[in-house]
Structure 1
């Protein structure tokens, strides 16, 4: 008889009050470690952490930090956690609010002129706390894409960039990076200290998290885990290099290890530790905006609110604070269950159905802990279907790519220029501001390009139309050149933005 069944029988016979949970937290941690080990073909690397207030119940890692090498993931390996950064920034913001460094209830008009915001957005009406709870009705895709994929935006440039590229959206909660990016800019404007430095000062240094940073350059090149994209059994894993410092931003800019996130989770389960007070934690966990619990979300459980970097959800009658992180080639998730005094985190350095897997693993742990009737069926379903779901995801990605490449505007890819003809397109292109800047060079039968830290290739389709590819299986983006009478490019247009050849 399995340990789980023995425990359940013992609870029934002894009426032990602790048996409100059918398994102890430690036993459930052992079960989930076994569950992960039985999941086929997870690779390249994975980590799982389970803690209570006083003890690390599970801190286990599997696999490689970079495919094709012998470098293992260890409990000290920094892994990118993307949007989980928001919860860290939320706690820093709550702490700085109580320290009277930066008032979360101050209006945006106190920091930037009203003219910085799109028409219809009243800067006096919206507060800093609204930025961190995704309520300020402004979107600016150019700014968030620049921060996440290309380069750091200078603090002084934010107001005019928001004015130029920002748009008023409908009021209400809408998840986006922009609010956190703006908060980070205002924080540096007010204090003279960057959000990266505040994270280190408030959290990483006091709580001794030596493998956590908002700058990948703080670690040697082979210390940080790489991300990965699955290309199928023949091509295998495509490693994606760690983000540069310039691509780390206040809505998604932390690498941390399993050992360090264990300390972070325990801090969030505490009544305050060190420089972080109970009031700091309460404010960061407190609901700032209500959500529709019937609305679909990535966690596939009812979520009724959002705090400062945490979704406030419900699972089996328990309140769960949860937030995930996703980026090219990586997926991660963390959760705390205050009533059960449990914190959990899962890491994967691939994006191969691992977003779904990370939430399933969190829920599976709780099913074990609560002895939910469906725990066995859920385990069997998840383990038996994982490989099939991976295959279906790869097929969908390949089909979407194939369909995109059949679009009429590529005109059947008839243009096959010589290397000499391709050289006509090479050079430096600039738009009407410093953030519109890219360089093209000839590389065999295509062009290689970069815009700050963003790397891509351009494949010719017609004399004026090229397809931009950045990562495997991503759909091509249209880049259109304007040619002069001699057939040489004088400018290009990409994503609605014009770049003049220099």
Structure 2
């Protein structure tokens, strides 16, 4: 198909993107499409800063969230090319102090296992979310995090494993993951605008602000610094740079005549490693697998390789069809937005000459709860947050629980509680009752009887239950908290620290 024909097949795309922004209450978006080395579409839509009415441009930087994971997997592939790393050699070979909770995983876990999400660990997101701990401290905390599945038994999306993979590749090169990506990917590809921190992004001339939709209004929210788990999702980029990244994929690891990654290792990244969950499963996407940093699926009979991302106020989708040599990137500055998916799928339908699927209609049904919970939008997101599940609103959740008067003196519950992996949680007495503080997040508590409290995770707009256990003297001994959503997970238990 000629470039002219491909371009003409995108007639009406401007109107479609504008319609999606309105339908899904998006603030801004950036869309690029390439065929081989040719850019056939590159445009900004809506606003990067709604308050100042600053429009999105092809230069506007967005946080790309978990679309970062493919960069991390690619750095590992480079080290395999350099014979510094082997996909199937245990991580403990390279990091003698490496330790998991499961002794079998400690001895046998490989970087392949890390990159295809089969460590046995559930998400354990709250250990890192808003935490001040360093990457090394979080790697050392892995030994205290319980699995809910046997090692290599099941695909479970896991950000901490990607963080650890990035830590490992940096260590093997005697540098950091950031320096490795900068020197061996951003530099050679000419990705001059791409950065590793939202703090750096805000110092640039053209960057997007993060928003969420609340009560029908666009609310600007704080940037979320996730530098410690950077290899899992901290890259910030724009259309111009992501086009260079897509070209590397379509050219099988080659850029400007230089083979940055061998074809053999690029094929390894694109090889299905584990069957996985998909929120889009249906006739168009009958099966979903995960490679190394990429989802690999047949889309309407055509091979599709892609990865999305979502972090506070931003969402993204990076996709390509190798046989058709088509690449697509969609960036958005609205919390948990599905616009990157609806726009990407619509573009693919157009370029493949297929009747467009009403993905907005399908996803509206999903968000409205008309389909099974197994197909919820859970596995493509980055955090246990409002993005993680199309759950009921906070107001509905609040109606489920009634506040009760305390059965014990309020001071019974006050103190510092500790978990070897998660760290410290403080329960403090305030004028209007108790408040939990964890990772600098303040969480109001309402007593519901039997030493249980309904606790509001303000950042996520949802409530969870804290259950206190008492000792023989009726003093608080520990708190059990259901921080994990996956089947078979246990509550996280924080033990009260002695004041003596």
TM-score category of the 2 structures, normalised to the smaller one: 0.7 to 0.9
Deviations 1:46-90 (A, max 9, x none): 121111232222221222334444343332232122221111111
Write the distance in 2 (CA, Å) between the matches of 1:196 and 1:265. Answer: 20
TM-score (norm 2): 0.77
Q: 1:431 aligns with which of 414, 418, 430?
A: 418
Q: Corresponding residue for 1:90? A: 73
SS in 2 for 1:43: coil
Distance 1:445 1:486, change over 3 A: farther
Alignment of 1:95-244 (within 5 A): 95-112=78-95, 116-119=99-102, 121=104, 123=106, 125-136=108-119, 138-139=120-121, 141-142=123-124, 144-155=125-136, 158-159=139-140, 161-166=142-147, 168-169=149-150, 171-177=152-158, 178-220=160-202, 224-233=207-216, 236-244=217-225
Change (3 A) 1:385 1:435: closer
Q: Secondary structure at the match of 2:329?
A: strand
Q: Deviations over 1:161-193 (max 9, x none)?
A: 325534552634403224323312323443332
Structure 1 stretch displaced more, 156-165 or 425-434 = 425-434
What stretches of structure 1 of length at least 5 have no aligned partner?
Answer: 1-17
- The separation in 2 between residues aligned to 1:400 and 1:148, in whole angstroms, is 22
Change (3 A) 1:469 1:75: farther
Residues 123 and 437 (structure 1), Cα distance of their counterparts in 2 relative to 1, 3 Å cut: closer
TM-score normalized with structure 1 length:
0.77
User: 2:61 aligned with 1:78, yes or no?
Assistant: yes
Any idea what the Cα deviations from partners look like across 1:130-188, whole Å, max 9, x if unmatched? 3212233x31543x432344344542663553255345526344032243233123234
1:474 aligns with 2:478: no
Could you say if the C-alpha distance between residues 487 and 406 of structure 1 is closer, same or farther in structure 2, counting changes exceeding 3 Å? Answer: farther
RMSD: 4.0
Say if 1:440 and 1:219 are closer, same or farther in 2 by CA, change over 3 A: farther
CA distances 1:174-218 after superposition (whole Å, capped 9, x unpaired): 032243233123234433322222222221222222332222222
Equivalent runs, 1:280-359 vs 2, <5 Å? 282-291=266-275, 296-298=278-280, 301-303=285-287, 305-351=289-335, 354-355=337-338, 357-359=339-341
Write the distance in 2 (CA, Å) between the matches of 1:397 and 1:279. Answer: 39
Task: Tell me the alpha carbon deviations over residues 288-339 of structure 1, each in whole angstroms, 9 at most, x when there is no partner.
Answer: 51537xx754465134543211122112332111111133443321111111
Is 1:413 aligned to residue 403 of structure 2? yes
Larger mean CA deviation between 47-56 and 98-107 belongs to: 98-107
Q: Name whichever structure is richer in helix by fraction.
A: 1
User: In the alignment, is the contact (CA less than 8 A) between 1:66 and 1:239 conserved in 2?
Assistant: no
What secondary structure is seen at the aligned counterpart in 1 of 2:462? coil
Take 2:154 and 2:478, find their aligned partners in 1: how far apart are those partners? Answer: 39
State the Cα deviation string for residues 385-440 of structure 1 (Å, max 9, x = none): 9889878899x967454554344xx4x21349xxxx99x69987351548522456
State which drifts further: 236-245 or 314-323: 236-245
Specify whether residues 499 and 30 from structure 1 end up closer, same or farther in structure 2 by C-alpha distance, changes over 3 A only.
Answer: farther
Equivalenced residues, count: 461
Partner of 1:8: none
Give distance in 2, aligned partners of 1:115 and 1:472.
Answer: 32
Larger Rg over CA atoms: 1
In structure 2, the residue matched to 1:498 is 494
User: Which whole-Å CA distance do the structure 2 matches of 1:168 and 1:388 have between them?
Assistant: 31
CA contact (8 A) 2:29 2:332 kept: yes
- Structure 2 stretches of 5 or more lacking a match? 371-385, 483-491
Q: Is the 8 A contact 1:216 1:242 kept in 2?
A: yes
In 1, the alpha carbon distance for the partners of 2:171 and 2:141 equals: 15
Superposed displacement of residue 498, structure 1: 1.9
